[in-house]
Structure formats: structure tokens, C-alpha cells
Structure 1
Amino acid sequence: MKNDIIQGLARVRMLMAQWDDKLKLSSRFNQNQIDILLAMKALEEIYASNGGRKGIQSGEVKNSAICKTMSQSTYNRALKGLLKDGYMLEVPRSNGRYYLNPDKPLTASADLPDEETSDLLAFSGRLGM
């Protein structure tokens, strides 16, 4: 059973590396920024499915499974870079709530051929994402 879990994890990590290669995320962002962006995307989806809410509290992102091992100073530097470059925006009159900038997509729509995109979406759907 544990070997099956390890094998599944290995496959997911290999697939993630392939997706990153195709999307070229690591050519635009450092790993900490990628982790914050992925955590934001996941949290935004959770809130959208529960009726929506504008912005995610910074602490929720930092304490997410993706970012929890990141030191606070590393997290702050990565977040500051994403804000400076306009990939994330702060909710006005909020205390540390952010959202992904819809006018600044993380990838170009031409980054993946349609067939590959549908394969990736189907796979992530099977994972319950």
C-alpha cells in the first residue's frame, strides 16, 4: 500500500515537472512565487465553490499545505515580488487580503496545445482538483 502511494506521488511529481516545462512557469517565477500562486489558485477555487469571497487572507496562503514550510521572510519576499509585478493585487481597504490579477494571466493560452490542455484538465479532475 505505501509503495503504491509513493509510486503515485512520483508520477504526480513527474507530471508537475512536465507541466512546468510546458507552461514555462519557472522561467518567469522562482519556486516560492510558484508555490504562492498555486496556493492562491487552489484557495480561490475553494472559496468560489463555497459562494465566493473577494481575496484570500495572506495567513491562509502562508499556512496552506503548499507554503507552510516556507519561512516567513521568504514568503514575504516572494509575495512582494508578485505584487510588484502585478500578478497579485491587494483587496482595497482590506488587511492583507489578496487575489490573482485576472488581467495578468500566469500563462499564455498558446502555451499548451488544446489536446494537451484537455488531457491535463481530465487528469486533474480525476485527482479531485
Structure 2
Amino acid sequence: MKKLILLGIITSGLLFQGCSAVMALNGEKEPNFELIKPGQNKVIVESQPLKPVSTEVLSNGNIVSTYQYTLGNEPSAGRAAVYVLLDCLTFFISELVTMPIEMSKNGELRLIRIEYTPQGNIIKIG
């Protein structure tokens, strides 16, 4: 019976191996908002990790685009390294704690609305 329990613990540890470390390395980078300012071109804005949600053309020819982005879910090599170290020191028992921590880091979805001139330069943010 003790051998069966030990085998179950070892198998569970191997199944959880490195999941939280992989999750820590995955995520979405946050946009660099210092680059998004009036006068900047649309090409610079769209080079950021922003997902276009909608675009509309106003009667004066200006274009209003709404973008979606995520805050609080950036990848972290440091956090992944700590998780790997904990896995090695605890024979993967730490995954019982670190994996739920990583699963809770979904980030916060936000929207940003940007108005451009017909030439693609930012007029207004917000």
C-alpha cells in the first residue's frame, strides 16, 4: 500500500513537471504607451501588442480605432526560473502551489480608443 501511495505521488509530480514555469514564460506583453501620443503615426501604434476591435470613419474623414490589450500578464523568465528551482528542491510538490498562482494571472483586458487623421497621425487618445 505504501509503495502504491509513493508511486502515485511520484507520478503526480511528473505530470505537473514544469507547468507553472511554462505558464510563467507565456503571456502577453504590455504596450509601450510612451510611443502612443498625439502626432505619432498609426504604423507605430499597430506595432504594439494591441488587438484591433473596431474601426469607424467619421464624417470629417478621420478614423477612430478601438484596440484591446492586456495588463498584468507579461511573461517572466525570472518567475519561471524560480519555479524550476522550487520544482527541483521539492520534487515537483511545489507545483501544487505555483500552478494555481500562475493560473490566476490572467491579466486585465482594457480598451483604448484612438482617433487618426486620414493620413494616419494620432489626433486624440481616449
TM-score (norm 1): 0.22
The structure with more helix, counted as a fraction of residues: 1
Higher relative contact order (CA 8 A, sep 6+): 2
Structure of greater Rg: 2
The two structures have a TM-score, normalised by structure 2, of: 0.23
